[in-house]
Amino acid sequence: MKVLETKNLVSGYGETDILHDVSIELKEKEIVSIIGPNGAGKSTLLKTIFGLLRPRGGVVELIGAEVTGLSPDRIVRKGMSYVPQVDNVFPSLTIQENLEMGAFIRTDDYGDKLEEVYELFPLLQERKNDKVGKLSGGQRQMIAMGRALMLDPRVLLLDEPSASLAPILVGMIFEKIIDINKTGVAIMVVEQNARETLKISDRGYVLAMGRKVFEDTGKAILENKEVGKLYLGG
């Protein structure tokens, strides 16, 4: 079953279109990666799906309902969460408060969910009363993902989770992505780090110049020499 689908999505900034007719889909329990060179429109795609940019054409469907053009605070109520690439934590709040903000719209008791997130990222529980501003990039990324999980989303969008992380942390973050996926969350991840991402992905899309140029299973894309040469840097 498809949980997320875009049909002929067009979007951009100012007077220029960046995305042209992009149609992609994400099925239940999948990890799908979106890769491609710098400036291909990968982040623009996620922002448009999540309502941070208004699409100029096309449709976004989430769990069978159209959400095209809805604002982020509406979309988040419909079962999808998003982790931006940069500025993805509240620096003057504590770790615990950051997670609570993720659950802002919940009116029920979310103590269990908080425990679950702390189990996933034990490091966060140790320092839960620390201000986030002082923490390292890897820890911030964990907080950002934890915040996004607080609403029990069916779909999670990740924008370059490994960007600007030390190599040793990259592996850890990808492991966490797999762990999150195992709890039943379908994940769409945009990455520069294409090879590592494709290894954990069920399927992948290659974006270039704002267009979808290739799609296949993660394994097949990795093995495709031409795609490798053109888009994955040799």
Residues 8-67 that bind other proteins (CB under 8 A): 50, 52
Q: Rule CB under 8 A: choose which of 104, 119, 164, 183 binds other proteins.
A: 104
Closest to 156 (Cα-Cα) out of 179, 133, 134: 179
Q: Rule CB under 8 A: choose which of 16, 38, 92, 129 binds other proteins.
A: 92
Give me the phi and psi of 134, to 5 degrees please. -90, -5
**Does 100 interact with other proteins (rule: CB under 8 A)?**
yes
**Does 90 interact with other proteins (rule: CB under 8 A)?**
yes
Beta carbon nearer to other proteins, 18 or 151: 151
Q: How far is the CB of 99 from other proteins (least distance, A)?
A: 10
Assign 3-class secondary structure to 42-104.
HHHHHHHHCCCCCCCEEEEEECCEECCCCCHHHHHHHCEEEECCCCCCCCCCEHHHHHHHHCC
Please, are residues 65 and 3 in contact by the beta-carbon 8 Å criterion? no
Query: By rule CB under 8 A, what string of x and - marks binding of each residue 135-154 to other proteins?
Result: ------------x---x---
How crowded is the C-beta side of 221, counted as CA atoms within 13 Å?
Answer: 28
Using CB under 8 A, list all residues that contact other proteins.
Answer: 50, 52, 71-73, 76-77, 81-82, 84, 87-93, 97-98, 100-102, 104-105, 147, 151
